[in-house]
Structure 1
Amino acid sequence: MKNSVRAAVTATATAVAAATVVAVTAAAPAQADPRVGGPIGARYDALGGAAGFLGDPVTGESRTPDGRGSYVHFRGGSIYSSPATGAHEVHGLIREEWAAHGWEAGLLGFPLTDETPTPNRAGAYNHFQGGSVYWSPSTGAHEVHGAIRATWGAYGWEAGTFGFPVSGEYDIPGGKRTDFQGGSMQWSPARGVTVMGDSDVAGCPAPFNAATPEQAAGCLVRGWEQRSAEVVSTYAVDAVAGELLATPYAPTTFDGCSRPTPAITATSAGIECVYHVPQDSGAAAPHGVDVHLGIGVYDGAAVVEDVEFIG
């Protein structure tokens, strides 16, 4: 009898325990991967967890080498976290560009945003502590930072005149430069950022602070030919620009540049470039005209500072 009662009690207890396990299991939410927790786990869950674009984790949470934060790598990207920045994902070509610059220990630092579409939906970006990486299908992914980034932002970022970056920042003599779809920006300690944008005269960006005398003379005349006040003003001092824009243009041939003897006293560098307006070019120059351009050089830039019409 006692054995029968004991067996019945045991069976009842087992059934109750099993029912309790089933009930708890049914009520428990799905658990995130045990290797992903804290701020990184929260960000991972917000992005869809294993079902999202990041997919399954391929590492546990690890401290960054400098000890300032932590990260988890996933099949589709990474999430990096630090107390100063929070947790943010970075993936694809933007992640590759960031990695090429030293991950969080490089000039860009930790990410400040997830990858975000640009407002015009033409590309995407991540902002980092030390700059940004912008990507588009036609330009790839490139970093931009510092004073050049600030100037680019003032021109409207990727939606402005300059469009997306087509290079990262690179060294030039005396400074740095970044190229964009619509021009370039370069920086030097003495001059800060100089903007070199496209103009309506092919091959003559405006402004342009590294022109040779030949380039300055050529762009000045092409700007004069096309009546481009922007280009003429870029390559000539105000008095010359005003005189040229008030003078009718006729087709010319370029006779070259030289250092005449004696030097042109009105021109600091003593360089002269000559354009010849032929005699049969029309009523604007019935007897033929030579346009003598005196070139001065300032801060590494050639500027036309004197013009003389001889005919």
Structure 2
Amino acid sequence: MITLAAVAAGAVAGVGIGQGAAQAAPACQPYGEIGSTWHGAGGNKSYLGHCVDDEHAVPGGRAQGFAGGAVYWSDKSGAHSVKGLIREHYYNMGASGSFLGFPLNDEWGTAKHTGSFNHFQGGSIYWSHATGAHEVHGAIRDRWKSMGWETGALGYPTSDEYKVSEGKRSDFQGGSIIWNAKTGATRVIGNAAAAVAPAAHTTSAPSSAGQKALAVAATKLGAPYVWGANGPSTFDCSGLTSWAFRQIGINIPRTAAQQATVGSHVAKGDLKAGDLVFFYSPVSHVGIYDGKGNVLNAPTAGQGVKYTPIQYLEYNTARRI
């Protein structure tokens, strides 16, 4: 296994971590979107600390190493940091040159604060003290997500996805998910199987207008944030929501404050996938609820369209279109 020590010694192409944090910071300076992410985190005083190399090219984009992590950027994902054991696992898998691609969020804590995760263009890496860091992707990730991520009966992943005679498999604390290569279906085995119906999992088509808009908006994951933009390739927060509803034949107002006046009010405890959720007072941000505690949103400059846990934003109200 490649370790960060090997990366620091130059054994791996990509973002090194320098020759050791004990040495003086080199004469490098973060700039552009990577610099914006670094400054937004707190610069030298943040978990990232000082830079240890110059910004440089990696497969598909740019990256820069810091004493406490690395920031990766691409035009589709924006600039996001990876750190710790998630970062090390990301390196071992090939970083941006792997199927994971670029990170879509900075590392976040999980819902019950028992671990942390990064979502990537091609999957996710979840970490906890009990399980370590492991990737989940594809249909297996979709099934795990439908069961509540790490808060569901399966808990955290305990393995990466690996081949079995039936197709692919990932193991979790509460069981395993197996993907059938012939049928495309997934099934759950182990203790967690009692929490789901025994039939193979199928995904029904979106039923409500909000769910349809959510599905449309999800096709723009990673699209760059541009203030005042409303698609089809760049968005601000209300530009994304108005564009998504427009694609299904529903026109809603352009700004977040205006959107907060249409449809019907929904209590926070009654949120369903597809509801518009508004943040801050006065309302200045909006996203589409995914049914799992997150909103799909266009957050701010330097960050692409992504899922953000509601708990990290200042909730105001919600509306159902």
> Which TM-score bucket, shorter chain as reference?
0.5 to 0.7
Q: How do residues 1-311 of structure 1 correspond to structure 2 at under 5 angstroms? A: 35-64=29-58, 66=59, 68-191=60-183, 192-198=185-191
Please list every run of at least 4 consecutive aligned residues from structure 1 whose deviation after the TM superposition is greater than 4 angstroms.
205-209
Deviations along 1:94-144, one digit per CA (max 9) or x if unpaired, are 011111111001010000000000111111000000000000110100000
Assess if the C-alpha contact under 8 Å between 2:154 and 2:173 holds in 1. Answer: yes
Structure 2 CA distance for partners of 1:200 and 1:84, relative to 1, 3 Å: closer
Structure 1 residue 34: deviation in Å? 5.2
Point out where structure 1 has 5 or more consecutive residues left out of the alignment: 1-32, 210-311
User: 2:69–2:83: 8 Å Cα contact kept in structure 1?
Assistant: yes
In structure 2, C-alpha distance between the alignment counterparts of 1:182 and 1:171, rounded to whole Å: 19
Identical positions, percent: 46
Do the aligned partners of 1:89 and 1:113 also contact (CA within 8 Å) in 2? yes
TM-score (norm 1): 0.52
Q: Greater Rg, structure 1 or structure 2?
A: 1
Taking CA–CA contacts closer than 8 Å with sequence separation of 6 or more, which of the two structures ends up with the larger relative contact order? Answer: 2
The two structures, once aligned, show a CA RMSD in angstroms of: 2.2
- Structure 1 CA distance, aligned partners of 2:31 and 2:192? 53
SS at match of 2:130: coil
2:153/2:192 contact within 8 Å kept: no
Alignment partners' CA distance in 1, 2:176 and 2:66: 36
Is there any run of 5+ residues in structure 2 with no aligned partner, and where? Answer: 1-26, 201-321
Q: Could you tell me which amino acid in structure 1 is paired with residue 36 of structure 2?
A: A
Cα deviation, residue 206, structure 1 = 9.2
Mapped to 1, the partners of 2:51 and 2:189 lie a distance apart of: 45
- Structure-2 change in CA distance of 1:34 and 1:200 (3 Å): closer
Give 1:37 shift. Answer: 0.3
Counterpart CA distance in 1 for 2:106 and 2:122 is 15
Please list the CA deviations of residues 6-51 of structure 1 after superposition, one character each: whole Å capped at 9, or x if unmatched: xxxxxxxxxxxxxxxxxxxxxxxxxxx7521000001001111111
TM-score by length of 2: 0.51
